[in-house]
Amino acid sequence: MIDMNVYKKNVEETVSFLQGKIKRPPAVVIILGTGLGGLIDSIEVEALLPYEEIPHFPRSTVPGHHGNLIFGTLRNRDVVVLQGRFHYYEGYSTRELTFPLRTLSLLGADTLVVTNAAGGLDPNYRPGTIMVIRDHLNLIGENPLRGANIDDWGPRFPDLSEPYDKKLIDATLQCAEKLHMTNVITGVYVAIPGPSLETPAETRFLRAAGADAVGMSSVPEVIVARHAAMRVLGLSAVANFNDPDNFAPILLDDIIRAAEEIEPALQELIKEVLKVL
Ligand code: HPA
């Protein structure tokens, strides 16, 4: 069983460490998913900290994922970017992999923008679609809040009736329209544990369960963000399309390449949204 006294002490130590590195607390946390690390080129960097140099931080082990925590400004907003995230399939518990987000919420951030590369399940999606996450299914089989609750951090039974902020979703759709992006739609994201990709039968099952896109991340972070009363915006770059009746191999290299192709549009969208946040 996880010792939450130790976890809390570690989080507090990391918060103090990070406070010593920055002048102002960040307002917005941005988590960059597979193949989506390039947004940092637009950031006026105040501090760049490799994960290895941050006490108690997990380490990124996945190709396509860097491992840097970057504080700075983007479109005049104080942001902190997780360039590279942690996944359940790497062996981390969801409690462990959400350690950075918990730390950043306690540092003062009140908004989370979470991005990922995902597989499309809605037959209308094509690679290149940007899905604004409207709701999610947690099929990872673990909840990052399991175990003793720290009441100072949030309620024992956090409400998830509106996991993704409706105002942020609407603002994002408006920004997409303004930017003449025709491939931005809302949908339901399902998180699976991975690392194996879905079988055709699983793909059929996930679609029948109401999901529009599938991936192996984001949901644990969103649960912790909502526990911490942060506003959440979730964006999926639909990198591949999984048709159970015409199933093609799903290959990581293809996913990374497709995500990189979507990235410029996703970056533009995030920057535009930051202006109106
Ligand atoms: N399945 C699961 N995770 C993914 C996929 C997929 O098809 N594409 C990108 N991440």
* Centre of ligand 1 from the C-alpha of residue 109, in Å: 29
Residue type, 233: L
pLDDT in tens, 38-47: 898 999 999 9
Q: What is the three-class DSSP state of 239?
A: strand
* Centre of ligand 1 from the C-alpha of residue 165, in Å: 24
Alpha carbons 173 and 181: distance in angstroms, whole number = 9
Q: Which atom of ligand 1 is nearest to the CA of 120?
A: 7
Q: Which tokens sit at 78? A: 């104080």
HSE value, Cβ hemisphere, 13 Å, CA-based, for 122 = 19
Angstrom distances, CA of residue 41 to CA of 44, 81, 237: 8, 11, 19
* Superfamily in which the 4-276 domain is placed by CATH: Nucleoside phosphorylase domain (3.40.50.1580)
Alpha carbons 180 and 159: distance in angstroms, whole number = 35
240 lines ligand 1 (CB under 6 A): yes
> What pLDDT shows up at residue 189?
98
Residue type, 202: E
Residue of the CA atom closest to atom 10 of ligand 1 = 118
> What pLDDT shows up at residue 168?
97
- Name residues of the chain where pLDDT drops below 70: 62-65
Strand partners, 67: none
Alpha carbons 195 and 147: distance in angstroms, whole number = 25
Angstrom distances, CA of residue 63 to CA of 3, 21, 165, 176: 31, 28, 31, 30
On whether the CB atoms of residues 79 and 73 are closer than 8 A, the answer is: yes
Please give the model's pTM, rounded to 2 decimal places. 0.96
Alpha carbons 48 and 68: distance in angstroms, whole number = 7
Task: Name the packing angle between helices 252-276 and 166-178 (round to 10°).
Answer: 100
On whether the CB atoms of residues 98 and 152 are closer than 8 A, the answer is: no
214 lines ligand 1 (CB under 6 A): yes
**Surface-to-core class of residue 79, CB atoms within 10 Å of its CB (0-12 exposed, 13-18 middle, 19+ buried):** buried
Break the chain into its structural domains and give their ranges.
4-276
* Centre of ligand 1 from the C-alpha of residue 218, in Å: 12
Alpha helices (runs of H) in 179-251, residue ranges in sequence order: 200-208, 219-227
> What pLDDT shows up at residue 228?
98
* Centre of ligand 1 from the C-alpha of residue 266, in Å: 17
> What pLDDT shows up at residue 84?
87
Residue of the CA atom closest to atom 2 of ligand 1 = 215
> What pLDDT shows up at residue 64?
55
HSE value, Cβ hemisphere, 13 Å, CA-based, for 220 = 28
> What pLDDT shows up at residue 144?
98
